[in-house]
Chain A
């Protein structure tokens, strides 16, 4: 438990483009939110949410000095901040929400605690469907830098070399980040997934004696290990036939039955058992109890 009192108020410019979303967050956390006040003293002990601003209002230094914490755009020109008369610049927090992703914390803890020995390499997959384009801000100025930022957090180091290969015409990048000690990070970052897909957000870190990952073993693809997504929807194709769009796994049952019958591989089940089952269930519907002897059910 922290002995520091919670921040209870937030001040935010009214034209913040993500105001609606942010207000929901503040409300859920029981924080009161208001516009930037005319009197800087009103900011005392509060949070100034200035992350949408590329330039500050005239009285911002005074507001910053009164506030407990100030959220600023991470790409903000350092010169702007240096030019302000700010008593304690430690209160300026870059708005990098990806840093607070639970998986980043888990991977960082895993490495820090040496649960799997020393880090060797890691992969970050951060793919957004086209319809969610921009949710982390501009692709090149905010989204991609944030992914590289979490790579640096995980490696706990500054990179020796970053190589980014863009797919021409798309917000789509593969990256290789080389850290000291020959630690390598792979980045797969794009906003190109089909809209019916959930975002793909996985980290898989490899250490000398272990690994940590949220890449799912199960539930991502169907039992055949495949999924096909378009803007209209997701199908999980059967491996017997690429042109069959069955929807989900349940819709594939009938298809596979006919496929097996066609190939002479149908399952032969004595009809008498099924018939007895149906009769017993019908009896149960009347009496509430069904008993089927003889090991048939």
Chain B
């Protein structure tokens, strides 16, 4: 297997470090370089890969990295959302494929510019909308397509997490996440750029699973659970799809995090990614973060306290994030979650923000 030579442009997105282990072990990736203007984050990456004797080069300037590594095939863009467009354009101009963390940008024009640039330079643009690969959700898509559930008329989708902002402060800066300062409602201190911006999955899944677009969106945002946050930590969206399906979406930081120095994703139910699809012939319910068993152990992340475990999956090669990207880059698979998919989700997310601001339904 010919390895994909990869560079990482920015590690501001907390998901980037989830890939570090795969960079070290996957037999289809050859990690060449990492850049980040933030020295602490760059040092964290250095510590990780040096400990594994990996000859990775480190840069604080993305242009310097791209110039010094003409050999790379692809770049993971993991900077703050506000820098995604600038970095994606620079990478595409060099003829390198792009694997972008979500969201690609909350500025829809920037999204269009990125899509256009990648087309012009004939490179792949894949957005990290990883729930496409979760087997439980993939099964639901196949069930719907097979007609097994009949006509799916109602769908509830939640994407509830803890707030990542205690541990990744950049994640709570509205300018970095949303790209500009817009109050959630007229005259309010809380701004756009939090729970909705951080959770594009339900918006993407509603389209992907229903095979339809959003027709109308009504959204609200409760007062924040955390008074210190500058961005919203709550939202609820009710939408009508073009196929008539009634969809409810909850993208929130409603699960409280532990007051721990290091982020723990184990608090009884740290995440909820639930889909309840009701059709005329059947009902399918799944929660990727279902916790069907408990455990207690000194070797766990929170030693010797009762934890709930479970979830996960066992996708085959090509049915996960980076390996699907690898297959797309090498022409062996179609792109999963393209730039167009990313833009479609962003459009609905912005409509939700607009609805919260105006307290009115947004019609597409």
Question: Which residues does A use to contact B, with CB under 8 Å?
Answer: 120-121, 123, 125, 127, 161, 163, 165-170, 172, 174, 176, 178, 181-184, 186, 188, 190, 192-194, 197, 200, 206-211, 215, 217-231, 237, 239-240, 242-243
Contact = CB atoms under 8 A, between A and B. Distances in A.
Contact of A165 (B146, B234, B240, B285): B240
Given A225-B311, A242-B143, A123 B234 contact: no
Closest 6 CB pairs of A and B: A225-B290, A239-B135, A242-B139, A184-B222, A121-B222, A182-B223
A120 B222 contact: yes
Contact of A184 (B236, B248, B288, B294): B236
Given A178-B220, A221-B285, A239-B136, A192 B236 contact: no
B135 A206 contact: no
Contact of B282 (A190, A215, A225, A229): A229
Contacts of B223: 120, 181-183
A196 B156 CA distance: 19
Contacts of A168: 244
A200 B285 CA distance: 11
Contacts of B328: none
A188 to B, nearest CB: 6
Contacts of B308: 217-218
A207 B218 contact: no
A211 B255 contact: yes
A175 B221 CA distance: 14
Interface string B246-261: 1010101011100000
Interface string B210-230: 000000001011111111000
Given A188-B156, A240-B314, A226 B139 contact: yes
B293 A228 contact: no
Q: Which of B238, B276, B311 has the most CB of A within 10 A?
A: B238
A163 B218 contact: yes
A220 B222 contact: no
B153 A172 contact: yes
Contacts of A125: 156
Contact of A163 (B238, B286, B292): B238
Interface of B: 135-136, 138-139, 142-143, 146, 153-154, 156, 218, 220-227, 234, 236, 238, 240, 244-246, 248, 250, 252, 254-256, 268-269, 276, 278, 281-294, 308, 310-311, 313-314, 359
B282 A120 contact: no
A220 B240 CA distance: 28
Given A172-B278, A174-B246, A221-B287, A186 B136 contact: no
Given A190-B154, A225-B311, A123 B136 contact: no
Given A209-B256, A211-B256, A220-B290, 12 more contacts: A163-B218, A165-B238, A174-B154, A192-B153, A206-B234, A208-B227, A217-B308, A224-B135, A225-B287, A226-B139, A231-B282, A237-B139
A169 B135 CA distance: 31
B292 A223 contact: yes
Nearest to B250: A186
Contact of A217 (B153, B252, B268, B285): B268
12 contacts: A170-B154, A172-B154, A176-B218, A182-B221, A208-B226, A217-B291, A218-B290, A221-B290, A223-B293, A225-B311, A230-B282, A230-B283
Q: Which of A167, A174, A222 has the most CB of B within 10 A?
A: A174
Contacts of B310: 223, 225
Given A172-B246, A186-B248, A242-B139, A227 B286 contact: yes
Contacts of B288: 225
B142 A242 contact: yes
B245 to A, nearest CB: 8
Contacts of A165: 218, 238, 240, 246
A193 B222 CA distance: 29
A59 B315 CA distance: 71
B254 A206 contact: yes
Contact of B246 (A123, A166, A218): A166
Contacts of B254: 121, 206, 211
Contacts of A210: 256
Nearest to A184: B222
A226 B286 contact: yes
A123 B220 CA distance: 13
Contact of B292 (A178, A218, A228, A239): A218
A78 B142 CA distance: 52
A208 B139 contact: no
A243 B139 CA distance: 8
Given A206-B254, A239-B139, A176 B238 contact: yes
Contact of B284 (A208, A227, A231): A227
A226 B282 contact: no
Contact of A228 (B245, B282, B291): B282
A187 to B, nearest CB: 9
Nearest to A228: B284
A246 to B, nearest CB: 13
A70 B276 CA distance: 40
Contacts of B142: 242-243
B238 A174 contact: yes
Nearest to A187: B248
Contacts of A231: 282
A94 B314 CA distance: 53
A223 B269 CA distance: 15
